[in-house]
């Protein structure tokens, strides 16, 4: 991407629709709009215009256009939007006309948001929140993404970074004036280390959150585990209310994990059907069972499915949060099968017990996500804050040590905090982040 390029891309979904929006951003945005519509409309007002191909005057559409002069725009640059009729031919015709204009080229994934970061309209954490908001599937994910987009993490990290910078300035001042007789080195050290310890405690407290922010983004993972023909695939279909897994009386039908996303009370829950747990010499089924055990070990909750006359499966991973589920309850008389404490009896065929099971899963998810709003929502944020804490730990462990090392640890702590918002060394991070964005954002 060059600094002089003017980017354009659809900002709405592909396919047949009532309206399609094309976004144009860059120094030639005004020229592109004039070339297509004949005149620049009043700023920030939708205006009805006839769009023609500048190459031959061919009529493209009757559309609403908007002009947004920079820098007070989403990207920080001059921007234009074309609100077209949503047919594929209309959209492709306008895109082709834009591609032929000097200085204009099609945008890649996340190009407009990337320009917003580079132009200081938002920091990297807020840009990540844009991606999270687009991907949000539940109410909880939407609320968390909006908090991050509003700067909840950015403001807190900025305050921590300012405090670390102040400590660094004090440490460097002590180095600069170390030969002055009126400088109280002992008092300065005590105050500096006290501030560093307080900063370290605040950041560590934010990290001690059970990773609920990351879990809310990714979903609460619930794995269905049991012996072959325990009713896992049938239960998955019943809970998701659609046929997502093949159901067969032949043992070992499920070989690979099948995932279904649910919205339970605004919380994202990922249900995972797995291969039946048993000893087998068949290599493909054995690989499926190996993968099942890996998913069980990484799950937030495991539903251990027990069919009539069967036993609870050996999960092979101690310490896993489990919920016992007695399946195929419709096959036995009520009195012939007692339900032990902390277990649920369900019938995927009749629907008995399914609502109670969903309520139990939702309760486990609520407990897993914890109370309160999360500050840290991505592994990248956590890694940067953990690095900052590590530098401060090294500083505090060397109380009374060399002033040069104290200053260096503080400098590294400031750098780690700067990485959260993208204030230092962000090119590689930008490439990774925006490759996952949709075109037109």
Residue 52 — very low, low, confident or very high, per pLDDT cuts 50/70/90? Answer: very high
Is residue 360 within 8 A of residue 340, CB to CB? The reply is no
Query: Contacts by 88-95 with C-beta closer than 8 Å and gap 24+?
Result: 88/14, 88/15, 88/16, 90/20, 90/60, 90/61, 91/10, 91/20, 91/22, 93/53, 93/58, 93/60, 93/61, 94/22, 94/36, 94/51, 94/60, 94/61, 95/8, 95/10, 95/22
**Over the stretch 83-133, which tens digit does the pLDDT of each residue have?**
999 999 999 999 999 999 999 999 998 899 999 999 999 999 999 999 999
Residue 80 near residue 68, CB atoms below 8 Å? yes
What is the predicted pLDDT for the residue at 241?
84
Chain segment 196-241, per-residue pLDDT in tens: 999 999 999 999 988 889 888 888 999 998 888 888 888 888 888 8
State how far the Cα of 360 lies from the Cα of 303, in Å rounded to an integer: 11
Separation between Cα atoms, residue 279 and residue 223, nearest integer Å: 20
The residue with greater pLDDT, 58 or 371, is 58
Q: Which of 11-15, 278-282, 428-432 has the lowest mean pLDDT?
A: 428-432
Q: What is the pLDDT of residue 2?
A: 44
Closest C-alpha among 244, 280, 238, 246 to residue 259: 244
How far does CA 412 lie from the centroid of its chain? Answer: 27
Percent of the chain, pLDDT > 90?
49
Predicted confidence band of residue 49 (pLDDT cuts 50, 70, 90): very high
pLDDT (0 to 100) of residue 314: 77
Residue 434, pLDDT score: 64
Q: pLDDT tens across 55-97, in order?
A: 999 999 999 999 999 999 999 999 999 999 999 999 999 999 9
Higher pLDDT, 12 or 280: 12
What band does 254 get if pLDDT is binned at 50, 70 and 90?
low
The per-residue pLDDT of the chain, averaged, comes to 85
What pLDDT is recorded for position 436?
61
Residue 310 has pLDDT above 90, yes or no: no
Distance CA 429, CA 410 (A): 23
pLDDT for res 84: 96
CA 47 centroid distance within chain: 36
- How large is the average pLDDT for residues 399-420? 83
| pLDDT in the model for residue 422 | 83
- Residue partners of 400: CB distance under 8 A and separation at least 6: 189
**What pLDDT does residue 333 have?**
56
Residue 188 binned pLDDT confidence (cut-offs 50, 70, 90): low
The residues near 296 (Cβ < 8 Å, ≥ 6 apart) are: 223, 225, 274, 302, 315, 316, 317, 320
| Phi and psi angles of residue 307, each rounded to the nearest 5 degrees, phi first | -80, 170
pLDDT at 294: 86
pLDDT at 336: 47
Taking the C-alpha atoms of residue 26 and residue 32, their distance in angstroms, rounded to an integer, is 10
Which residue ranges form the domains of the chain, and what is each CATH number?
Answer: 6-111 (3.30.1360.120), 126-209+376-421 (1.20.120.430), 218-369 (3.40.50.300)
pLDDT of 432 strictly over 60: no
| The pLDDT of residue 150 is above 60 | yes
pLDDT by residue (tens digit) across 5-19? 899 999 988 888 899
Contact between 165 and 414 under an 8 Å Cβ cutoff? The reply is yes
| Burial category of 291 from C-beta neighbours within 10 Å (exposed 0-12, middle 13-18, buried 19 and up) | middle
- Report the C-alpha gap between 193 and 187 in whole angstroms: 10
Task: Flag whether pLDDT at 185 surpasses 70.
Answer: no
For a pLDDT cut of 70, what percent of the chain falls above it? Answer: 86
Q: How many whole angstroms separate alpha carbon 225 and alpha carbon 223?
A: 6
Instruction: Identify the pLDDT of residue 180.
Output: 54
Backbone angles phi, psi at 58, to 5 degrees: -60, 135
- Mean pLDDT computed over 392-407: 79
pLDDT of residue 337: 54
- pLDDT for 85: 95
Residue 30 parent element (H or E):
helix 29-37
Four-point Cα dihedral 412, 416, 422, 424, nearest 10: 20
Answer for the pair 86, 18: CB distance below 8 angstroms, yes or no. Answer: yes
pLDDT for the residue 404: 76
277-281, 338-342, 409-413, 431-435: segment of lowest average pLDDT: 431-435
The DSSP symbol for 245 reads: S
């Amino acid at each position: 991407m060059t600094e002089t390029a003017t980017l354009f891309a659809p900002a709405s979904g592909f396919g047949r629709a009532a309206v399609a929006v094309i976004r144009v951003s860059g120094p030639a945005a005004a020229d592109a709009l004039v070339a297509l519509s004949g005149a620049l409309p009043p700023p920030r007002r939708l205006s009805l215009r006839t769009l023609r191909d500048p190459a031959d005057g061919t009529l493209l559409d009757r559309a609403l256009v908007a002009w947004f002069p920079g820098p007070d725009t989403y990207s920080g640059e001059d921007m234009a939007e074309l609100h077209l009729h949503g047919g594929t031919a209309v959209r492709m015709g306008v895109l082709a006309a834009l591609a032929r204009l000097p200085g204009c080229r099609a945008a890649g994934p996340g190009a407009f948001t990337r320009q917003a970061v580079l132009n200081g309209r938002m920091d990297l954490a807020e840009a990540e929140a844009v991606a999270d908001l687009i991907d949000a599937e539940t109410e909880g994910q939407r609320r968390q993404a909006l908090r991050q987009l509003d700067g909840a993490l950015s403001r807190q990290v900025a305050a921590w970074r300012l405090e670390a910078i102040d400590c660094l300035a004090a440490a460097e001042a002590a180095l600069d004036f170390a030969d002055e007789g009126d400088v109280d080195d002992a008092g300065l050290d005590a105050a500096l280390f006290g501030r560093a310890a307080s900063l370290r405690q605040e950041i560590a407290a934010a990290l001690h959150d059970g990773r609920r922010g990351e879990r809310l983004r990714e979903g609460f993972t619930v794995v269905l585990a049991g012996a072959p023909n325990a009713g896992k695939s049938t239960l998955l279909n019943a809970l998701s209310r659609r046929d997502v897994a093949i159901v067969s009386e032949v043992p070992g039908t499920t070989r690979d994990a099948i995932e279904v996303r649910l919205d339970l009370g605004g919380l994202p829950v990922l249900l995972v059907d797995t291969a039946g747990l048993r000893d087998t010499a068949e290599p493909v089924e054995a690989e499926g069972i190996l993968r099942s055990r890996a998913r069980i070990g990484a799950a937030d909750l495991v539903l251990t499915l027990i069919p009539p006359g069967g036993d609870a499966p050996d999960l092979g991973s101690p310490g896993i949060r489990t919920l016992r589920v007695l399946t195929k309850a419709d096959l036995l008389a009520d009195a012939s099968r007692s339900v032990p404490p902390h277990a649920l009896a369900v019938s995927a065929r009749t629907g008995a017990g399914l609502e109670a099971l969903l309520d139990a899963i939702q309760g486990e998810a609520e407990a897993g996500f914890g109370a309160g709003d999360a500050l840290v929502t991505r592994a990248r944020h956590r890694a940067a804050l953990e690095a900052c804490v590590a530098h401060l730990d090294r500083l505090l462990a060397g109380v009374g040590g060399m002033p040069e090392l104290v200053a260096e640890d503080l400098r590294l702590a400031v750098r780690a905090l700067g990485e959260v918002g993208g204030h230092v060394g962000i090119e590689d991070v930008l490439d990774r982040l925006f490759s996952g964005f949709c075109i037109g954002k």
